[in-house]
Amino acid sequence: MIRFGDDTIVNAYFEQVIRDDGCIDYRNYSISISMAQELGSKTAQEHLEMLKRPHWETKCLSGERIMRYLNLTKDLKDQLPDELKPVYDDFLSRMKEEWAPTILKEEKEVLERVYGVTINIYLKQVYLGEKTGLKGIWELIVRRKENFEKVRKQLDSVWKEGGDREHEP
């Protein structure tokens, strides 16, 4: 696992992860890494019932497939009747504390240790996969200019040493 790699390996790993599953936003000084994981087997019946209440958004994917999703925001909670709001809070708490992908938690620890920055795990969405059922999406986000610059400088050194030839800093 990446937890045991030296700084060169860690930098190369995160350069690849951010390119594949993340985003660098130079304007807002943020770096994010997203990850999805199955939730259906973890959720209680009351969570599933609660998720039936709000209006699900739809997005067209390639091959004429449609994805149904919910953005996990305060607005979503406001759509729920009062008796379901504690269920929503419990669902979010479990997503953050119990169900977040182990690799994402490990990546957070490594990023904080190697780059000396504070990183938060945010809950982004739940969606219904055509074959996989209910899934959640989490994001690691590096925010604030100071933290952004620490990570970006390290990643730029990877790109300059022959990393991603498609990248143009």
The 10s digit of each residue's pLDDT in 71-96 is 998 889 999 999 999 999 999 999 99
Alpha helices in 116-144 (DSSP H): none
Q: For position 129, what pLDDT does the model report?
A: 78
First-to-final CA distance of the chain = 28
- Give 134's strand partners: 128
Closest CA to 6 of 159, 114, 115: 114
Check pLDDT > 60 for residue 169.
no
Q: Does residue 168 fall inside a structural domain?
A: no
Residue 166 in any domain: the answer is no
Sign of the alpha-carbon torsion through 118, 121, 122, 124: positive
- Number of independent structural domains in the chain: 1
Summarize pLDDT for 123-149 with one digit per residue, the tens.
999 998 777 789 999 999 998 999 889
Judged against a pLDDT cut of 90, whether residue 7 lies above it is answered with no
Name residue, tokens 């209680």.
44
- Tell me how far the alpha carbon of residue 57 is from its chain's centroid: 19
pLDDT at 2: 64
pLDDT of res. 95: 94
Question: What is the DSSP secondary structure assignment for residue 62, as one 8-state letter?
Answer: G
Average pLDDT over residues 144-158: 83
More confident residue, 136 or 15: 136
Q: How many residues are given for the chain?
A: 169
On the question of pLDDT at 118 being above 80, the answer is yes
Residue 10 lies in a domain: yes
Locus of tokens 């182990």: 102
Q: How many C-beta atoms surround the C-beta of residue 33 within 10 A?
A: 22
Neighbouring C-alpha atoms within 13 Å toward the C-beta of 140: 24
pLDDT at 106 over 60: yes
How high does pLDDT run on average in the chain?
85
Give me the domain span that covers residue 63.
2-160
22: enclosing H helix or E strand: strand 22-25
Question: What pLDDT, in 10s, does the model give residues 41-68?
Answer: 899 999 999 999 998 998 887 777 788 9
Q: Is the full-model pTM beyond 0.95?
A: no
> Which of the two residues, 7 and 22, has the higher pLDDT score?
22
Residue 50, pLDDT score: 94
**Which tokens in the block code for residue 70?**
């919910």
Q: Write phi, then psi, for 66 (nearest 5 degrees).
A: -120, 135
